[in-house]
Structure 1
Amino acid sequence: MFKSRALILLYFLSALLPWQQAFAQNEKALSREQQAFLDAYDAVRANDRQAIASYKRQLKNYPLYPYILYHDYRLHLKSTPTSELERFLRNYKGTYMADQLNTRWLKLIAQKKEWQRYLKVYKPQKSTDLQCLNVQALANSKHTTEALKLAKPLWNKQIKLSSSCAPLEPLLLKHHRLSGSMIWQKIEDAMSKRQITEAKRLSKYLSNKDQASFKKWLDVYSKPSSVTELKNQKMDRHIKRVIFKQAVKRLARKDTQGAKSLLDDLSGKFYLTKGDVNELNRYVALRTAYRYAPEAKALLEEVNHNGAPTEDSLRWQAQINIKNSEWLDLLDTIDLMPAEEQNDKQWRYWKARALENTGQKTQATQIYNGLANSRSYYGFMAADRLNRAYQFNPNPVKVEKPEKLIQKYPALRRIQELMAIDWINTSQTEWRYLLPQVKRDELQAIAVLAHKWQQHPQVIRTLAIAKKWDDIQLRFPTPHKQPVMQNAEKNSLDPAWIYGIIRRESAFSESVQSSAGAVGLMQLMPSTARYIGRKIGAGKVNTSALKDPERNIQLGSAYLSYLKEKYGGNLILATAAYNAGPKRVDSWIPENGTLSADQWIDSIPFTETRNYVKAVMEYKTIFKSLLNKRYDRLSNLMTAIGQNNIARATDSQHP
């Protein structure tokens, strides 16, 4: 009886599905050609040859016609005639479809070990795997000299060889082209990347003496402080030096003082060069700086004044000066920076701040005045110091009839149609392939066209490639206005803040998913979204739901509200926590006293979060000016940071 009911229900649902699909298509009002294309795609997937042939004739002049060919050949590659593949690759050279099809075809040819054909079809490729297969084809076609010449750099390129590249190793060994120095270098690379299994595998090619040295290296890798036991042992100088350098770096991660002592006491026993000593001193100093250890300042000063300073070591010394309000020291640190770096807005602002705090107000004002003319975080901050109006410097892009480009670039017509049938991911791939091919003086017109099509991520990307920063309306759009405004009002948030977060997180890409798993417009982690969803009674939350703009904005805004409340209304701390997480931000807040907000922001340990907060504050200001025709001064948000900013929430299970 239960089984019978289940079958009836299944039949009902299967009958309902076509109606739902038809309803969705009617809602989108697809054209006859668009619907025919979708039907053709279904026919291709079903390998209905009669229907496929009919649709190919019907859609010959439709912009997405090449996609019918591409998917037909892709899915039925083994049965597709070579002549058709070659014609497709010629006709659509430079497109995503041609590149993908060519890759699949080459791999199929290699799988069949048709090496002569592979060499005939192969053209220079970016893909390392295809390059390795080309070497195999050459070697198996008696072009040994050329194969060996190409094989060596490819073998060096990957620490762990892919399946396509693995045959290169026996080829090189057979012809005695793998030297001991090549093997040692790859072992060094593997050890530095912590690919110990691969390093052990490679060590089997070493001599017995070198294998013994490698065994000692493994012992030191497990216990870095034991490197002292090697100080009087006879070993190859280079190997001994590499082992010592790695030991100091590994020890520095847990015991910086121990690493520094090791370096000072034993560098002479391990054949270190002056450059090595500078490198290791800098590494140890930076490890202390990352956690603002008391000894960091002295170690960085030693590196920057006596060794070989880098952008990182100087920046961290400056950050320590900023955090500790060491204004004279900060001026000295900035003076050590290269001229180009000193001219960066960040260091111009902090030089002015240092001058102002050491009584040199005339010089400070001069710098502030220069900065205040720019539309940027530091420009707005400088304007606040002088109580000057913010300068937004809009310069709209003026392009006549950007539609003319559609005739020149067929990809634009394909993009239009792909958007119409809701193949969004494919349309984005077409954009990525198109933009490098567009002439520089046409990029602005492409951006205007993308704006008309509401393709905001592509507008932002295109103008960035063109280095055109001053069309504010194009670079800072306000789509999804209804859910943003509704959720801003519901959560007592400034909609400009929500837009600032969206702009920084996803550049308005609705379906984007980061490598860490963050999803959608506001780049929410699913675990955080589920937690917030439970708090506000938003129902079940999954990855698919987070790609829906309205749901994403609802949950993201609720999370911003939660963070704002947690930090007593402080938007700086809430913004930092949105990026780095509340636990980290809590640990960055001074335990005693307070720190001015601009000092706190520029002493955030994480570069990503430091830049994120500044960008969101800049974007929030711009969006506010666009939404309200007025703006809030950043100085209104820059309240001092201290323990009083943390609201002692009763809910301890925050994400």
Structure 2
Amino acid sequence: MHSATRTLKFLLLLFISLSVTFQQVHASSRSENLSENQKKFLDAYEAIKANDRPLISKYKSQLKNYPLYPYLVYLDYKYHFKDTPNPVIESFINNTPNSPLPFFLKAKWLHHLAGTYQWDEYLKHYQEGEYRAVSLKCYFIQASIARNRTDQIRKKAQTLWKTHITLPKDCRPVKRFLRKEKLITGSMVWSKLQLAMTKGKIKHAKKIGRDLSKMGRRALHFWIDTYKNPKKVTRAIPAYISPVIRQAIFKQGIQRLAYTEPELALKTLEKRAEQYGLNTQELASLQSQISLRFAYQYHPKASEYLAQIDRASKNEKTLDWELQVTIRESNWVNYLDLYALLPEKQQNETRWRYWKARALSELNQNKKALPIFKALAQKRNFYGFMSADRLKQPYQFNPTPSQKKSFTKMVEKYPQLKVMQELIAINWKLSLKREWYHLLDHIDEDDFEAIANFMSDWNQHNLAIQTISKVKKWDDLSLRFPTPYKQPVLQAANKNTIDPAWVYGVIRRESAFSPNISSAVGAVGLMQLMPKTARYIGRKMGFNKRQYTRLTSPESNIKLGSAYLSYLHKKYNGSRVLATAAYNAGPHRVDQWIPEDTVMAADQWIETIPFSETRAYVKAVLEYTTIFKSMLNKKYDRLENFMHPIGLPKTLSAHDTGDSSQS
């Protein structure tokens, strides 16, 4: 037993020793690529964190003319507010031009002033509307209360309370003030409750409801029950509930009932709209929402219900879905009738012009369709490529290099560029992004292309793409469609027998080549993999745990994402269209979208994907893949080669209907 313990301790010490050695070697190898000033700056940062005043003073003196010197000052103040006089901080904020640092330092300083109850200083420097942070708004109210400005602040405190479902703990003094002054009214509580219920925040609604009367809590209980079981709106809502709240319960109940039973929702709406005092506009809005539910499901009566909506009440979304239903149903005559009713702006959209030509072609009116296809075939996009396929014409990529400018001259105009270069060198990505945002807010429109080229030269491809898109310069393909990580992409594509251009197309759409990006739902890295999907694919393909858990590593992410694409490609019998859709929306959804009793043309299926995000995603990835193919190989594959008809017998593998959702 003791021997085993000693062995375990030895192995643990060996592991720690190896880990430290690896980190030291890694840091050493990286520091070899840094300049002396860059090394000094990073050492100075460590001194600031340790509050080593003599060393901080030494480095500040040595780095006085270094582009990142303002960062040393900023970090020193940020870490040591209590040791820094307020006038010194104020001077930095007011006298540091061409930098995002004053904005971020001031926010931190305001928190410090509030935390140390320096209310006079807080009121002096806080500006309403400058920051979005709710806590800073609460501190402003607290500071005003502390300085007996309660008459001026009551309404602000009430508005803040009722317009936020939850408030951070920093706002507790404001809540105490409102309760002490008895400023929380019943109407405020119901206003806040309506906000919570509209967003489906049931737990928060219950907490808010504690401020209601006994009868009010009873009404809230009924509302929550109706939220969970929307069929309750088919019966009369109890009279003890106020008319305003009854109407809110009814409207939300109808909306939620329409998710599962749109016909019942429409019938109930027609029966009880007058009873709950809905005006003409509210009635038309709910009718439109229910009709869209029929459309989302491609219900057999979708066209009928959409057609019943008053023309004046139809918005762009309703018109779009009405057109999509006719495309899904191959109702070409109806499509042309609806197209003729569109506003001119919508008629000129590439999407609807393509489908006008498709409709004319299907109705054997080729002479009318041909000029439209010819015009569209000049465009470098999904519909342009599809139109060129119809005409058997070559694709038009029409690349135009963007404007480049002398870096030396641009630095004279925008000194921040040197700062950004240094931040890239030391790998401070968040600071780089902040500098980039700040720079774009202050440059001339004529300089955007040059800035985008600098970003590209520095391998900051995501920033280059975003920069050039801000001025809608779409024709520099080398900027918009770079090919970094070429070796891992080619290797992963080859191993998984898929086209590397397709891998690039997915990366470009998912992350625009930002390896550390994370989405709101938890997708990570270049190919935006969900950790659950990465784990499933990693285990299925025999990857080690380190590979399928390090999703911000470009190499690991590309290996896993490519393996997942290959898995989906096989699942859907080689359909790139379905595999791409499944990568975005998850195979379980795509399986439901495949027609069971018919076969659809691929462009019709893509155009009528129920999820607007997935619909746009598939078009973009197919378009991007075509462009990347032309750049990688100096030739391209035609989209028609991948636009196989879609229907269950053709596209879903009979032996593999397993599911690993990426969404």
The answer to whether residue 227 in structure 2 is matched with residue 221 in structure 1 is yes
1:301 maps to which residue?
307
Change (3 A) 1:552 1:121: same
Tell me, yes or no, if the aligned pair for 1:513 and 1:519 is still in contact at 8 Å.
yes
Among 371, 377, 381, the residue aligned to 2:382: 377
| Structure 1 Cα separation of the partners of residues 351 and 540 of structure 2 | 39
Among 585, 596, 605, the residue aligned to 2:590: 585
Tell me, yes or no, if the aligned pair for 1:231 and 1:266 is still in contact at 8 Å.
no
Write out aligned runs for 1:174-185 (5 A).
Answer: 180-185=186-191
Among 405, 410, 416, the residue aligned to 2:415: 410
Which digits, 9 at most, give the CA deviation of each residue in 1:268-312, with x for residues without a partner? 211111111111111222222222222322222212x45611222
1:370 partner letter:
A
1:74 partner letter:
K
Per mean C-alpha deviation after superposition, the further-off stretch among 645-654 and 260-269 is: 645-654
Q: How much does 1:141 deviate?
A: 1.4
| Structure 1 Cα separation of the partners of residues 362 and 432 of structure 2 | 53
| Structure 1 Cα separation of the partners of residues 87 and 547 of structure 2 | 46
Tell me, yes or no, if the aligned pair for 2:571 and 2:652 is still in contact at 8 Å.
yes
Tell me, yes or no, if the aligned pair for 2:162 and 2:189 is still in contact at 8 Å.
no
The answer to whether residue 453 in structure 2 is matched with residue 453 in structure 1 is no
Q: How much does 1:381 deviate?
A: 1.1
1:609 partner letter:
T
2:36 maps to which residue?
32
1:233 maps to which residue?
239
Per mean C-alpha deviation after superposition, the further-off stretch among 65-74 and 509-518 is: 65-74
Q: How much does 1:384 deviate?
A: 1.6
Tell me, yes or no, if the aligned pair for 1:231 and 1:270 is still in contact at 8 Å.
no
The answer to whether residue 260 in structure 2 is matched with residue 260 in structure 1 is no
Tell me, yes or no, if the aligned pair for 2:538 and 2:547 is still in contact at 8 Å.
no
Tell me, yes or no, if the aligned pair for 1:402 and 1:446 is still in contact at 8 Å.
no
SS at match of 1:546: coil
The answer to whether residue 635 in structure 2 is matched with residue 630 in structure 1 is yes
| Structure 1 Cα separation of the partners of residues 530 and 548 of structure 2 | 9
Change (3 A) 1:385 1:80: same
| Structure 2 Cα separation of the partners of residues 283 and 22 of structure 1 | 58
2:25 maps to which residue?
20
2:3 maps to which residue?
none
2:256 maps to which residue?
250
The answer to whether residue 495 in structure 2 is matched with residue 490 in structure 1 is yes
2:93 partner letter:
L
2:108 maps to which residue?
104
1:138 partner letter:
S
| Structure 1 Cα separation of the partners of residues 28 and 209 of structure 2 | 64
Among 503, 512, 527, the residue aligned to 1:507: 512
Which digits, 9 at most, give the CA deviation of each residue in 1:359-406, with x for residues without a partner? 322221122222122111111111222222222222211223144222
1:467 maps to which residue?
472
Per mean C-alpha deviation after superposition, the further-off stretch among 348-357 and 136-145 is: 136-145
| Structure 2 Cα separation of the partners of residues 183 and 15 of structure 1 | 56
The answer to whether residue 59 in structure 2 is matched with residue 50 in structure 1 is no
Which digits, 9 at most, give the CA deviation of each residue in 1:455-474, with x for residues without a partner? 11111000111111111111
Tell me, yes or no, if the aligned pair for 1:510 and 1:520 is still in contact at 8 Å.
yes
Tell me, yes or no, if the aligned pair for 2:162 and 2:192 is still in contact at 8 Å.
yes
Q: How much does 1:18 deviate?
A: 6.8
Change (3 A) 1:210 1:577: closer
Per mean C-alpha deviation after superposition, the further-off stretch among 530-539 and 451-460 is: 530-539
Q: How much does 1:500 deviate?
A: 0.8
1:358 maps to which residue?
363
1:118 maps to which residue?
122
Q: How much does 1:608 deviate?
A: 0.8
Tell me, yes or no, if the aligned pair for 1:73 and 1:80 is still in contact at 8 Å.
yes
2:293 maps to which residue?
287
| Structure 2 Cα separation of the partners of residues 579 and 10 of structure 1 | 40
Q: How much does 1:220 deviate?
A: 3.4
The answer to whether residue 652 in structure 2 is matched with residue 646 in structure 1 is yes
Among 160, 164, 168, the residue aligned to 1:158: 164
SS at match of 2:595: coil
Change (3 A) 1:341 1:172: farther
2:200 maps to which residue?
194
1:382 partner letter:
S
Per mean C-alpha deviation after superposition, the further-off stretch among 110-119 and 426-435 is: 426-435
1:536 maps to which residue?
541
Q: How much does 1:613 deviate?
A: 0.4
Write out aligned runs for 1:515-554 (5 A).
Answer: 515-541=520-546, 545-554=550-559
2:163 partner letter:
K
Tell me, yes or no, if the aligned pair for 2:534 and 2:548 is still in contact at 8 Å.
no
Q: How much does 1:94 deviate?
A: 6.5
Structure 2, gaps ≥5 residues long = 1-5
Among 443, 448, 452, the residue aligned to 2:448: 443
Tell me, yes or no, if the aligned pair for 2:586 and 2:660 is still in contact at 8 Å.
no
Q: How much does 1:222 deviate?
A: 4.2
SS at match of 2:525: coil
Q: How much does 1:412 deviate?
A: 1.7
1:146 partner letter:
Q
1:86 maps to which residue?
90
Among 61, 68, 71, the residue aligned to 2:65: 61
| Structure 1 Cα separation of the partners of residues 378 and 203 of structure 2 | 56
Tell me, yes or no, if the aligned pair for 2:548 and 2:560 is still in contact at 8 Å.
no
1:603 partner letter:
T
1:526 partner letter:
P
1:469 partner letter:
W
Q: How much does 1:21 deviate?
A: 4.4
Tell me, yes or no, if the aligned pair for 2:166 and 2:204 is still in contact at 8 Å.
yes
| Structure 1 Cα separation of the partners of residues 178 and 166 of structure 2 | 16
| Structure 2 Cα separation of the partners of residues 484 and 230 of structure 1 | 61
| Structure 1 Cα separation of the partners of residues 217 and 658 of structure 2 | 53
SS at match of 2:140: helix
Tell me, yes or no, if the aligned pair for 1:73 and 1:85 is still in contact at 8 Å.
yes
SS at match of 2:543: coil
Taking only the aligned residue pairs, the percentage that are identical comes to 45
Q: How much does 1:318 deviate?
A: 1.6
Per mean C-alpha deviation after superposition, the further-off stretch among 550-559 and 170-179 is: 170-179
| Structure 1 Cα separation of the partners of residues 85 and 22 of structure 2 | 36
1:564 maps to which residue?
569
Change (3 A) 1:544 1:40: farther
| Structure 2 Cα separation of the partners of residues 501 and 571 of structure 1 | 12
1:478 maps to which residue?
483
Which digits, 9 at most, give the CA deviation of each residue in 1:442-462, with x for residues without a partner? 111111111211211111000
Which digits, 9 at most, give the CA deviation of each residue in 1:557-612, with x for residues without a partner? 22212221222211111111111112211111111231000000011111111100
Among 307, 316, 321, the residue aligned to 2:321: 316
CA root-mean-square deviation: 2.6
| Structure 2 Cα separation of the partners of residues 306 and 159 of structure 1 | 37
Per mean C-alpha deviation after superposition, the further-off stretch among 470-479 and 285-294 is: 285-294
Per mean C-alpha deviation after superposition, the further-off stretch among 617-626 and 183-192 is: 183-192
Tell me, yes or no, if the aligned pair for 2:534 and 2:549 is still in contact at 8 Å.
no
Per mean C-alpha deviation after superposition, the further-off stretch among 161-170 and 590-599 is: 161-170
1:427 maps to which residue?
432
Tell me, yes or no, if the aligned pair for 1:402 and 1:448 is still in contact at 8 Å.
no
| Structure 2 Cα separation of the partners of residues 6 and 361 of structure 1 | 77
Per mean C-alpha deviation after superposition, the further-off stretch among 606-615 and 177-186 is: 177-186
The aligned length equals: 653
Tell me, yes or no, if the aligned pair for 1:129 and 1:162 is still in contact at 8 Å.
yes
Q: How much does 1:647 deviate?
A: 2.3
| Structure 2 Cα separation of the partners of residues 362 and 4 of structure 1 | 83
| Structure 1 Cα separation of the partners of residues 377 and 16 of structure 2 | 68
Which digits, 9 at most, give the CA deviation of each residue in 1:323-346, with x for residues without a partner? 111111222232333221221111
| Structure 2 Cα separation of the partners of residues 344 and 209 of structure 1 | 54
